[in-house]
Amino acid sequence: MKRKVDIIVLSETKKKGIGSESLREYIHFFSGVGKDQRAKAGVSILIHNKYKNKIRSWEPLSERFIKVTIQLRGRSITILGVYVLNDDAAVQAKDNFEEALREIIEDIPNSHEIIVAGDLNARVGRQRSSKVVGIHGEEVLNNNGERLINICEEYELKIMNTFFAHKNIHKYTWYQHTRGLKSIIDYLIIKQRSGLVVKDVRVNRGAECGSDHRLVMAKIYITFIGNTLQKEAKDTDNIDYQKFNLESLQHASTRRLYSSRLEQKLTISSRSIEDEYQHIKDCIKKAAEEALGNAMKKSNKPFWWDNDIEGKILAKKETYLKLLQTNDDETRAEYKRMNREIKQQVIKKKNNEWEKRCQYIDNQLGGTRS
């Protein structure tokens, strides 16, 4: 390829079956419908041959999802190729697709970098002071765009197209010239806190393949962490790190307990400066152990997640697997009922959690400001 692209994500390929193949200087991973079905959807990821030994795994998830994990510069990078349903699709179908996307993201380890790319059929508008959407998008926001923004907010992702200023011809990714329509619906999405430095995302008008979509190109610099990690491990072998549950300090009773324990342990003496410094450190650590406890391992689950919801989602997955095997109406009705109940419970749980957080903020402000 003249443009020297290392990784390519394609949507709506309409290529049937799943597999991998060699295409000139690329390895082509593809995922589509069964060979006995009418050609539709289809997603692909192409990796340049120079990264052949860097590929760790790949997974054809469906005709709308494909996942490849590579190891570059000491970082594990999961590339997720996506082809989203049209904005005018049925609400239930979009709900099911959205849930599948959430499950895929949740299955990606926290330590991995994430790149989501493809035709997301979403118009996300533009926002100021947002970590998800920048000021250089288009003005229109549709239902798919709202759904995509919600997912990005929950999993701390950002839509990179909207953060770079370009002329309109280098921003709009889809055109229908006969009706004078254009929109931005193809995106590159990464973590908000990422070791991937995106230098630019823009449309390249020179590439043509008979599609009404334009080629979206991103320049990404991957910071190297291999030597850094080795150096840190070598320098900190003898250091005992301990993380405390600092979130518990939000409660007044915990703050009073910590302050009381620390005050009991701190005593003035005639120690040397070095000994006094060590004594203060030990007192702070012991008081934190007694009052706060150790921090729990951070989960990649959203803030509203609980064991009850997790149990129901696992049960729904089992019902879905049963539906794939039997394909009977009774199992399909049961699956739809469970899906509907889970969605209602998630909405209720989200609202309750936001009410608690807003109440806490209101109490901290003393009720004087909104």
Higher pLDDT, 199 or 340: 199
pLDDT digits (tens, 9 = 90+) for 17-69: 999 999 989 999 999 999 999 999 999 999 999 999 999 999 999 999 999 99
Closest by CA to 11, choosing from 84, 70, 110, is 84
Residue 185's pLDDT is 96
Q: How many CA atoms lie within 13 A of 201 on its CB side?
A: 23
pLDDT band at 235 (very low <50, low <70, confident <90, very high): very low
Could you tell me the two tokens for 215?
């080629």
pLDDT digits (tens, 9 = 90+) for 139-165: 999 999 999 999 999 999 999 999 999
pLDDT band at 366 (very low <50, low <70, confident <90, very high): low
Q: Answer whether residue 234 shows pLDDT above 60.
A: no
Angle at 94 between CA 92 and CA 96, to 5 degrees: 70
Percent of the chain with pLDDT over 90: 52
Q: Answer whether residue 239 shows pLDDT above 70.
A: no
Higher pLDDT, 356 or 245: 356
pLDDT band at 229 (very low <50, low <70, confident <90, very high): very low
Residue 368's pLDDT is 52
Summary mean pLDDT of the chain: 86
**Overall average pLDDT of the 99-119 stretch:** 94
Beta pairing class for 113-119 and 75-83: parallel
Q: Answer whether residue 347 shows pLDDT above 50.
A: yes
Do residues 311 and 282 touch, judged by C-beta distance below 8 A? no
**Overall average pLDDT of the 122-128 stretch:** 95
**3-state class (DSSP) for residue 60:** strand
Domain definitions of the chain by residue range = 7-228, 244-291, 307-365
**Overall average pLDDT of the 9-16 stretch:** 94
pLDDT band at 313 (very low <50, low <70, confident <90, very high): confident
Neighbours of 58 (CB within 10 A): 19
Distance in angstroms (rounded) separating the CA atoms of residues 11 and 28: 13
**3-state class (DSSP) for residue 217:** strand
Locus of tokens 């895929």: 104
Q: Answer whether residue 340 shows pLDDT above 90.
A: no
Could you tell me the two tokens for 103?
């499950």
Interacting residues of 257 by C-beta distance below 8 A, sequence separation 6+: 291
**Overall average pLDDT of the 249-273 stretch:** 77
**Overall average pLDDT of the 118-131 stretch:** 94
pLDDT band at 211 (very low <50, low <70, confident <90, very high): confident
Q: What is the second-level CATH architecture of the domain 7-228?
A: 4-Layer Sandwich (3.60)
Distance in angstroms (rounded) separating the CA atoms of residues 38 and 35: 8
**63-to-21, 82, 241, 362 alpha-carbon distances in Å:** 17, 9, 45, 46
Percent of the chain with pLDDT over 70: 88
Range from 60-74, 108-122, 309-323 carrying the lowest mean pLDDT: 309-323
Residue 228's pLDDT is 45
Higher pLDDT, 345 or 85: 85
